[in-house]
Structure 1
Amino acid sequence: MATASVRPATLADVPDIARIQRETWQLAYADLLADQAWHAVDQDSAEQAWQQAVVGPAHVLVALEGAWTVGFCVAGSPAPDSEIASADGSLPADAAQVGLIASLLVEPRWGRRGHGGRLFAAAAEALRADGATRGVVWVPEADQASRAFFGVVDWHPDGVVRTLDAAGRPLREVRLTGGLIPEMTG
């Protein structure tokens, strides 16, 4: 069995991150996003955006199984006000201590091998090091797999929802929140 690990992403990881994002979204969100959403993002523009993310202030982590890059996570703290505000726009009292997991994806063919849990644990550790005491993540309301995963780490909906324009098709997302304990609870 290959060794599984998580490490900070480097610029050399950018093509794999962009590929994983595109392929995973195409598989996992085929029923949620319009075909135009896939055609609007080409590999080159995705790689340019990921290059900026990897050298930026956020924590970009990659999951590996042996030499294969199989997933990634993007996390940062403090979370932008727009990501943690309540429906009326007010900020929580602990706003300065809330981190954001902007993305956590594992290729479906590499699923159920613990990569998501390892990515979450590494992101939680990085967010705690930044001073965060809890985190938030937005997931499509219909994405039961992601909602179940975050439920295992005791992250649950906090009652805030938003609707994004996904290439002409509304995409309803729910915000989940929870503590930054790295161990899986279930």
Structure 2
Amino acid sequence: MSDSPLTPTADVSVRPAVPGDEGAVAAVQLAAWRSGHAEEVLGDVVLDQIDPAALAERWSAAITAPPGPGYRVLVAMHGPRLVGFASVAPVVAPQGSGDDTPGGEILALEVDPAARRQGHGSRLLAAVVDLLRDEDRATSVQTWVMAGDDAREQFLGSAGLGDVGARRVLGEQDDPREVREHLWGASI
């Protein structure tokens, strides 16, 4: 046995997504949606209609040809395995608000259900905040959270984000799968 006080650690990291990651990103997204939103919001019928190849193509485009400056996709790795991802975009203050400071919005942050509670989500969130602060000079971060997603609210709250009071509804008013979201944010 070694006399070193250091113990072996897993090879975990966050890096920018590269071409070839899109299939794993799509797989993580679908697994996370099935785990967290299948019953109460989206439903298996909706999730079964999502074409994994088409979803991977959309992630490929986001990785290789982002829609504008400041749009990024990051991935969490556990050894050679992609176990999570985050996408982030710049946020422009509402016209006439008088706020011209840059901010960022986390468009997606998902971790494979089998790899949760291992710090991957926290590493992704920290990397997003570092990028926003250091490269974009952003002073705030925000993200939309589905109403009733207690686990995500707890995660974001433990990281210093809070419900800022804004609400939105996605989908048609008569659709039983109407998605209600709350905006969470923080200064960075």
Displacement after TM superposition at 1:39 (Å): 2.8
Q: For 1:95 and 1:162, locate their aligned partners in 2 and report how far apart those are by CA, in whole Å.
A: 23
What letter corresponds to residue 22 of structure 1 in structure 2?
L
What letter corresponds to residue 178 of structure 1 in structure 2?
A
**2:24 pairs with 1:24:** no
| Inter-CA distance 92–144: structure 2 relative to 1 (3 Å threshold) | farther
SS of match in other structure, 2:118: coil
Equivalence for 1:36 = 45
Alpha carbons 1:17, 1:71 under 8 Å: kept: yes
Q: For 2:19 and 2:148, locate their aligned partners in 1 and report how far apart those are by CA, in whole Å.
A: 33
Alpha carbons 2:88, 2:107 under 8 Å: kept: yes
SS of match in other structure, 2:137: coil
Identical counterparts, % of pairs: 32
**2:145 pairs with 1:139:** yes
| Inter-CA distance 153–45: structure 2 relative to 1 (3 Å threshold) | same
Q: Which of 156, 162, 179 in structure 2 is aligned with 1:150?
A: 156
Give aligned pairs, total: 172
SS of match in other structure, 1:113: coil
What letter corresponds to residue 94 of structure 1 in structure 2?
D
Q: For 2:23 and 2:96, locate their aligned partners in 1 and report how far apart those are by CA, in whole Å.
A: 36
| Inter-CA distance 92–16: structure 2 relative to 1 (3 Å threshold) | farther
Equivalence for 1:184 = none
Please give the root-mean-square deviation of Cα atoms over the aligned residues, in Å.
Answer: 1.9
What letter corresponds to residue 142 of structure 1 in structure 2?
G
Equivalence for 1:73 = 86
| Inter-CA distance 40–66: structure 2 relative to 1 (3 Å threshold) | same
Equivalence for 1:46 = 55
Displacement after TM superposition at 1:68 (Å): 1.0
**TM-score of the superposed pair, with normalisation by structure 1:** 0.85
